[in-house]
Structure 1
Amino acid sequence: MGALSHLRVLDLSRVLAGPWAGQILADLGAEVIKVERPGNGDDTRAWGPPFLKDAYGESTGEAAYYLSANRNKQSVTIDFTKPEGQRLVRELAAKSDILIENFKVGGLQAYGLDYASLKDVNPDLIYCSITGFGQTGPYAKRAGYDFMIQGLGGLMSLTGRPEGEEGAGPVKVGVALTDILTGLYSTVAILAALAHRQHDGGGQHIDMALLDVQVACLANQAMNYLTTGVSPKRLGNAHPNIVPYQDFPTADGDFILTVGNDGQFRKFAQVAGYAEWADDPRFATNAARVANRLVLVPLIRQATVFRTTAQWVSELEAVGVPCGPINDLAQVFEDPQVQARHLAIELPHVLAGLVPQVASPIRLSATPVEYRNAPPLLGEHTQEVLQRVLGMTSGVLEGLRKSGVV
């Protein structure tokens, strides 16, 4: 049994941040009921191609994007724009521990599904709202998507080639990182609220904002600004506080060198054949190397091109200097460490036979993650959930289907 197998989550969210949080809770054993619109469902079901293919190579209509964030859940279709649908969601909320939603601020109030309304139904409910800008402030009513938040929240000012270089300009991260981080922070907040409920009793409202998370995750770069008043600039793959800590060319491609201290730099210099670098006052300390990066980095680049990536990785790993190749995703999933950690898995799927998944990185010794079922088809569990959780009869359910409520 998973660590959270005693909990039920009502997931009214769609796209990525909310579903990501729901999937984490589901992986940890919680029963997660995903409520979707009849006919369309989660927006990401249509965010393709690519789409999952069946054994004959034909599209199943299940988008890869949707499949990334919805395993271990049960899909129930309910139209809560209709009074009867609102009643069903309220009844499910009354029997749930956690609710996750990412509608615009006030968007669920018209349906009586906001926190204030559901708190009366279930005082112990932990209600997690995820929005672009939070429940307060001048931007609260705005919609917010990851890409926009990466720009507004400062991340893109730090990502991309430096000014003056070919191809210079702001670049977003290659995955919806702000959404993912918001899902992670939301999960932490939910678990904290559960701990509070266990000790002190009562649920609470959690107000999560993509912008808040993005700014919080600027980490050292935010502090670089706050302590100096100077906005950091794009450095490409270089690091603002550590040198050398970036990509370098090799005889057959590129590799990443991440020297974290002066001892590692001395070892690197010896392997590179330039032991004198470690005693040069311009390079002997990290602070000196940062100040003289425009001198040192070209010297390193001139040295690294004479060996292959594999040679550099082998020789530097032997002396404890962190480094590695720049892999595409095919190489990632072929990597022996990735395979040893079983990060690529497959789950039985009703249309495709099997669906690939990326395993959870959470490894618990006593309550390990369990992969119970593939991301569900739209409405796949409507009948089962409504009968089991709400005690609904087949006749009542059929009436709801005919009226378009489910």
Structure 2
Amino acid sequence: MHRPMEGVRVLEVAQFTFVPAAGAVLADWGADVIKVEHAERGDAQRGLVRLLGLDVRNPGTSFFPIMEGPNRGKRSVGLALEKPEARAVLEELVRSSDVFLTNLLPGPRSRLGVDVEDIRAINPDIIYVRGSGFGARGPEADKGGYDSTAFWARGGSAAGVTPPTSDRMMRMPAGAYGDSMGGMTIAGGISAALYKRAVTGEPSVVDVSLLGVGAWATQFSVNLALMSDGPLPVQDHPKHGSPTNPLIGSYRTADGRWLEFSMLQPGVYWPEFCTVVGREDLIGDERFDGTEKIMANAREAAEIVARIIEKRTLAEWVETFKDMKAQWSVVQNAWEVGQDASLRANGMIAPVVDADGTDRELVASPVQFDESPVELTRAPQFAEHTDEVLRELGYTDERLIELKLAGAIT
């Protein structure tokens, strides 16, 4: 199968997850992504050993999921951009690329000569892509940010999930949570820019910020606040259900697991739900015999639903609800997501062979083309492809040795 980005070369000068995740998606789609890492230090993310209280390394192997996820399918070149001897290498890479992708801040971009004007002077047709914390303009254009700050905190998600009575702020549910969404967003922007260049011949400067992605993710609430011309009222969410619908929200099972209901039309789904759980008596109950009555007595109905759900285990409810038309889901942990039958049936948990030759699995990027799952290749080891890529550019072994002795390449 021809992947849609085959023939596109992306030059990535970035580290951590937000912007590199975009390169990983493009590599999934067939692009040749060359990752430039500092000739001595590499991508700073290679040095992380703990995240969110978890050990992120796999002792005794080269498999490093925190690098594999946002860097699979790329080739790594070790290049010391601050050294004059490295400049000619960078320029050759720029000339041969369609996209320049970076998350360097304005100061380092200027010092290293990789700002828009610098790169366009080498390749006028290149698409220049910047990932930032807070945007390319405004008072914080020079300020760095991570997804916990720019996406989660500033973008509204943290406030949205933290109860007003809580004595602590709710944290992101996974590492690189906003980074991964942001990377997919950047990949989409690059795709549109490539299409524009193919149609008009004009290259674009593409900007995506973590703050912007965070605001987009919470746009429903932000748009309501803008319409109301002020903060949204604090909601008194009931323990079970919603204020007007007992069939929305989470319920705990007998074995301490959770089910999530999202039956948006209570009058439509209440009779089916009551029948499936063996409480047909509730259908004709004068408190609940009609949509308006269910909504008016939602809290009382939700307490009844809670008592019903807490009497059986998760496995029992999964079996009971398997043919129910109403919308519901198990609340899955990370291991269960990785084993999810629908994800696996659609190739969204993809095999990959690591650098040691061991079979592994990674979450695939969620876009498929022509009903075909992506085929993943592992992330590169640090500077693994330096010689290979430079030889493709015409560098001789003698010149490679000279550049290594100068500290310009790894």
Provide the TM-score with structure 1 as the length reference.
Answer: 0.88
Contact 1:106 1:114 in 2 (8 A): no
Runs (5+) with no aligned partner, structure 1: none
Runs of 4+ in 1 over 6 A off after TM superposition: 236-242
* Structure 1 equivalent of residue 211 of structure 2: 211
Quote the Cα distance in structure 2 between the aligned partners of 1:297 and 1:237: 6
* Structure 2 equivalent of residue 33 of structure 1: 34
Moved more, 24-33 or 326-335: 326-335
Contact 1:158 1:233 in 2 (8 A): no
Q: 1:219 to 1:352 in 2, by over 3 A?
A: same
Q: 1:230 to 1:134 in 2, by over 3 A?
A: closer
Provide the aligned length of Structure 1 versus Structure 2.
395
* Structure 2 equivalent of residue 247 of structure 1: 250
* Structure 2 equivalent of residue 308 of structure 1: 313
Deviation at 1:274, TM superposition (A): 5.4
Deviation at 1:69, TM superposition (A): 1.1
Q: 1:249 to 1:386 in 2, by over 3 A?
A: same
Contact 2:81 2:112 in 1 (8 A): yes
* Structure 2 equivalent of residue 91 of structure 1: 92
1:223-281: CA deviations, max 9, x gaps? 33233334265759977996532210222223222212232233223334156468767
Deviation at 1:299, TM superposition (A): 2.7
Q: 1:349 to 1:304 in 2, by over 3 A?
A: closer
Question: What secondary structure, in the 3-state scheme, does the structure 2 residue paired with 1:346 have?
Answer: strand
Question: What secondary structure, in the 3-state scheme, does the structure 2 residue paired with 1:405 have?
Answer: coil
* Structure 2 equivalent of residue 173 of structure 1: 172
* Structure 2 equivalent of residue 69 of structure 1: 70
* Structure 2 equivalent of residue 346 of structure 1: 351
1:136-170: CA deviations, max 9, x gaps? 1111111111111211221100113x334xx5542
Question: What secondary structure, in the 3-state scheme, does the structure 2 residue paired with 1:202 have?
Answer: coil
1:262-312: CA deviations, max 9, x gaps? 3223322333415646876778448973x7654443232122112222332
Runs (5+) with no aligned partner, structure 2: 50-54
Quote the Cα distance in structure 1 between the aligned partners of 2:292 and 2:95: 57
Deviation at 1:398, TM superposition (A): 0.6
Task: Give me the identity figure in percent.
Answer: 27
Quote the Cα distance in structure 2 between the aligned partners of 1:321 and 1:274: 16
Q: 1:20 to 1:106 in 2, by over 3 A?
A: same
Matched AA of 1:381: H
CA RMSD of aligned residues (A): 2.7
Deviation at 1:184, TM superposition (A): 1.4
Q: 1:114 to 1:159 in 2, by over 3 A?
A: same
Deviation at 1:108, TM superposition (A): 0.8
* Structure 2 equivalent of residue 383 of structure 1: 387
Quote the Cα distance in structure 2 between the aligned partners of 1:168 and 1:311: 35
**1:362 pairs with 2:361:** no
Deviation at 1:345, TM superposition (A): 3.4
Quote the Cα distance in structure 2 between the aligned partners of 1:278 and 1:8: 65
Contact 1:132 1:143 in 2 (8 A): yes
Moved more, 334-343 or 313-322: 334-343
Matched AA of 1:386: L
Q: 1:398 to 1:169 in 2, by over 3 A?
A: same
Q: 1:257 to 1:36 in 2, by over 3 A?
A: same
Matched AA of 2:306: R
* Structure 2 equivalent of residue 153 of structure 1: 155
Contact 2:242 2:299 in 1 (8 A): no
Provide the TM-score with structure 2 as the length reference.
Answer: 0.87
Matched AA of 2:39: P
Moved more, 87-96 or 273-282: 273-282
Contact 2:364 2:374 in 1 (8 A): no
* Structure 2 equivalent of residue 196 of structure 1: 196
Question: What secondary structure, in the 3-state scheme, does the structure 2 residue paired with 1:148 have?
Answer: helix
Q: 1:100 to 1:67 in 2, by over 3 A?
A: same
Q: 1:40 to 1:255 in 2, by over 3 A?
A: same
